[in-house]
A and B are shown apart, each in its own frame.
Chain A
């Protein structure tokens, strides 16, 4: 990892460890008009939110707000955050640092809400928020980036905690869009290697050449068996189970068809032969020689499919 990136990551981790909190308050207490607007928009007919008499006869004991409405109470609204909220965002410097480091794009990926109890009309909520964790650099379908999880804890006015929420976003470098990306270079295909590429693309199979005289498997494909010099051969289908034998990460020169850093693995198949392949969803810091891998045949375009490997589950 380049030095600047290591420093940048350490800076973000230090921020997580400081655990600096912000607070957001609500303009209004939990109230029936906002609840009614919500349930009508969501087409939620649960009577415990709007029918006081009905709600009183249930386990809720009276009107409650929809628990999933949690965030709405402290949302900023059109103009301003409610008075008493933090005026500076304790996470702003992390987000600024990510933008400066080249990860400007954002997408929310996960939202986990836990309700300790339902809140009732008349209760006034506020929540604290802090940075809970930042992942290492990850390769995703959208591009390379960092997953950032915030923890929000919701309280009533007398500081009774009623709910918590973890909200994860991905800050990323947008990958070049597919149509703009030049296709992968075609493999040099000969009559000796044609079966290998056809097997991948047309039959979704990874094939290994087998000597018909001595039974030895071999890869890459070749016309003659290196063990017994026989020219007779057929193929067997690989199971897809493999382990990592070795790996190298390509940085330069960048080829436009690939994402960088581009880690290339030498993979040992369960059957014993080895082949070169790309990896999917494995951070290069997580690579360990011998780690179990699973084949995934990836269709690159209308003509080419390639074997790639992901972590075996």
Chain B
């Protein structure tokens, strides 16, 4: 991969109220299982449908580490490789079951310079057909300007 393929968002390009392009993520069994194992979460409800149903769930469902990872990925997909995530605070809601689609959206809610860093606050949400799967705030440190 060459560097030209990736572009960065700079602090001075961002305004409060800006929205990020939406991202649709198809929730497949492969996504749920592969991300659970990649996060080394072997709880049976994330890979064993029979066991998940015994515990009262209609199917396997996405683990929290993955929801957190997808929120981070959504922000850096937009911001580019120079972005540095400072914090990811999420609140969890409706589960992500296979067959659903999660639509991620975000809005810039604040920006400020703090101790030499250029910080942007984003209100992020991921919604599926059951409701809000994940919502929260991400703080990202962006490069100041393209100059």
**B41 contacts which chain A residues (CB < 8 A)?**
72, 75
Nearest chain A CB to B95's CB is how many angstroms away? Answer: 10
Pair A113/B82 contact, Cβ less than 8 Å: no
Pair B42/A57 contact, Cβ less than 8 Å: no
Stretch at the interface among B11-19, B64-72, B102-110: B64-72
**A109 contacts which chain B residues (CB < 8 A)?**
91-92
Q: How many residues of B are counted as interface, with CB atoms below 8 angstroms from the partner's CB atoms?
A: 35
Residues 44-63 of chain A, each 1 if its beta carbon lies under 8 Å from chain B, else 0: 11111001001101111000
Query: CB within 8 A of B88: which of A77, A108, A113?
Result: A113
Q: How far is the CA of A226 from the CA of B77 in the complex (A)?
A: 67
Query: How extensive is the interface on chain A, given as a class?
Result: 35 or more
The 6 nearest A-B residue pairs measured at CB:
A68-B72, A75-B40, A41-B34, A41-B38, A112-B89, A44-B73
Binding site for B on A (CB under 8 A): 34, 37-38, 40-48, 51, 54-55, 57-60, 66-69, 71-72, 75-78, 107-115, 118
Selected A-B contacts with CB under 8 Å, 20 pairs: A37-B37, A43-B73, A44-B76, A58-B81, A66-B69, A66-B73, A67-B88, A72-B65, A75-B39, A75-B40, A78-B42, A108-B92, A110-B89, A110-B91, A110-B92, A111-B64, A112-B87, A112-B88, A113-B88, A114-B87
Known A37-B38, A57-B3; further 12 A-B contacts with Cβ < 8 A: A42-B35, A42-B38, A44-B76, A60-B81, A68-B72, A72-B41, A75-B39, A107-B92, A108-B64, A111-B88, A112-B87, A113-B87
